[in-house]
Structure formats: C-alpha cells, structure tokens
A and B are shown apart, each in its own frame.
Chain A
C-alpha cells in the first residue's frame, strides 16, 4: 500500500510543485524593429527590450541578412536599462533576422529570433551605419535640371510681365513701320 501511494502520489506532488512554482520571468521580449515589421528605411540599430535586466557582456545579439550574412556592427550589444542595442549596417533591402541569446542578472537565459523586412535600398555606396552619417554628392544632372526649371519659370514670368495681355504678338515682332492695326484680331 505504501508502495502504491508512492507510485501514485509522488508524481502528483512533484507535478503540482512544478506547476505551482513561480515561473521564470516572462520572456516578453520587445524588439525594435518589431517582429514582422516592413520598413521603408533601413534601421541603424536594433533594440531588444526585456522584462529583466540583461547582462550585455554575457549576451549576443546578431542581425543576419536573408543570405545569412551578419550585418550587425558590434560583437557585443550595448545595454541601457532593460534593453540591449546592436548597431547594424544594412546595405540593401531584404529580409533580416535578429538572433539573440541573452543572459539575465537574475541568472536566467533567453534566446530567440525576430524578423523584419527593409523595403527600400539605402543610398548606393552603403549606409551611414559605419560613419553614423551619410554624405551624398549632389547629382550634377539633377542640379542642372533644377536650375533649368527655375530659369524657365523666371523667363516665363518675366515675359508674362513684359508682354501684357492684349499685346499683339505678331506686331510686337515686326519693325514699327510694318506694324498695322489689321494684324490684330478682327
């Protein structure tokens, strides 16, 4: 009988203890970019925010492009409060995966992935993630066209002021001696 009780009760007791024991802190990790986000612009960094204090020195946060190449800029993320931030250098549009393995100050551990998509290619020649600032040269063709556009507008405005409505364009172009009233509309 005692043997039977042990066989039946022991698993029940152990199961109950396990079920009723406080669960580890919820892994309610929030990422920025959010999981599944489709971004118009490539982010300069990704941030993971936890409900517990992470230990940056014992954690890894990597960002991988669609073909598996890392685009993260640093070997170790930077901690700020409950967040870990990893700078990234994304050179082209595509799908990206944040892969993380995080140790917490309370001894816990969490790992997982988050995905996001970048819809638009950053500027040709790379992103500003490396320098923190992108310098673009003014496109000479575009600049010239814009100047031409402005000149056309200026010339047209000037001509509109110079040639008031009702002026006879034909007579205006003729020598004064040849200007006749019959050039005008009937």
Chain B
C-alpha cells in the first residue's frame, strides 16, 4: 500500500470510502433528476419544457438557467478527478474512462450554460444547443451521457471494492475492507 500525505492523499486514503459515498449521493441525485424527467415525459406525457425533473419543478430557473445540470456535471467531474488516484489496476482504467466521458459531458453542459447566460444561441438554434444535440434530442442525449459515465464508474467501484492482490497492494484506502492504520506504512505485496 502506498503512503502519501496532503489533502489529496487523505481524500484517496483515509477518506476515500467516505468521499466515494458522497459522490454516490451526488450521482443518485443527478440520476433522480433525469429519471423523474423521463417519467414526466414518457409516463405523465408532460410537454418536454414542463418536464423539469425534481428540483426544477420547484425552482424552474435552475433548469432554464442551465445551472442545475451544469452544477451536477462539474461536481461529478471534480469528484471523478479527485478520487482517481485512489484507484488502481482495472478499476483505475474504468474510472479513467468515466472521467474522460464526464469531461466531454461537462463541456456540453458548459456550452449550454454559456448560451443560457448570454442569450446567444449557437448553431443557429433558438434555444441553448450543445454539439451532440445537433443529432440527438436533449433528453435522450443526456440520458445517454449519464449511462456511459455511470456504467464504467460502477464497474470501477466494484473492481475497487473487490481488487486483486496486486491491485489491493497499490491502493491507499481501505475501501476493499482492509483495516489499515493510515499512520503506519504497510508492506508492499509480493506475489509468489
């Protein structure tokens, strides 16, 4: 097990499990917005502009200003970035894939936010329009984005919780169930 110091090290060491749980809460809240929106459109048959998810129902400006989903996007991106060093081996690869995809997802939301704030719409649109939205409708597009970020992220979490010995040797946290003293160095694993 590697030993580091500093805030990033603590996030990816002693507090990695807690931070992952916090991150999961954000992810679930974000999913709730999209799932409720899908329910409002496809089950309740609401017009799309009136399908504002959970928070948007109470504070529509959160949706019209694009702050709600941009906020989720940037928070998820920050979590994915900060928590990456805590992963190792296969889980790090999957987490990295989720991070890369979320980065692009965040760019899309940034474009929407800029347009909503400036009132200048790109690509000749009459509403804020992102790049991929030119070919895929918005609700479907962001369900897709959330899925392709979510699936590798969940796989990464699973592999992180059930690592191989070599992977376990290269993590600095106790997410996989190790009861480790974070103040004491742990011998590096040697395989036979």
Interface 0/1 of B26-67, CB less than 8 Å to A: 000000000100100110011111101000000010011000
B20 at the interface (CB under 8 A from A): no
A39 to B61 Cα, complex, angstroms: 9
CB closest chain-B residue, reference A40: B64
Residues of A within 8 A of B18 (CB): none
Contact B143 A186, beta carbon cutoff 8 Å: no
A37 to B122 Cα, complex, angstroms: 22
Contact B165 A41, beta carbon cutoff 8 Å: no
CB closest chain-A residue, reference B162: A163
A163 to B176 Cα, complex, angstroms: 11
Contact A120 B64, beta carbon cutoff 8 Å: yes
Contact B63 A123, beta carbon cutoff 8 Å: no
A122 to B30 Cα, complex, angstroms: 23
**Given known A93-B127, A134-B45, A183-B165, contact A148–B158 (CB-CB < 8 A):** no
A75 to B191 Cα, complex, angstroms: 84
A159 at the interface (CB under 8 A from B): yes
Taking residues whose C-beta sits less than 8 angstroms from the other chain, chain B's interface range is 35 or more
Residues of B within 8 A of A136 (CB): 41-42, 45, 48
Residues of A within 8 A of B137 (CB): 124, 139
Residues of B within 8 A of A3 (CB): none
Residues of B within 8 A of A159 (CB): 158, 162
CB closest chain-A residue, reference B152: A152
Contact B143 A122, beta carbon cutoff 8 Å: no
A182 to B176 Cα, complex, angstroms: 19
A120 to B192 Cα, complex, angstroms: 62
Q: Which 3 A-B pairs have the closest CB atoms?
A: A165-B177, A41-B49, A40-B64
User: Can you report 28 residue pairs joining A to B where beta carbons are below 8 Å apart?
Assistant: A42-B47, A118-B49, A119-B116, A120-B64, A121-B126, A122-B47, A122-B49, A123-B47, A128-B47, A133-B45, A138-B42, A139-B42, A142-B38, A142-B140, A142-B144, A145-B143, A149-B147, A152-B150, A152-B151, A156-B154, A156-B155, A159-B162, A165-B162, A169-B162, A183-B192, A184-B165, A185-B189, A186-B190
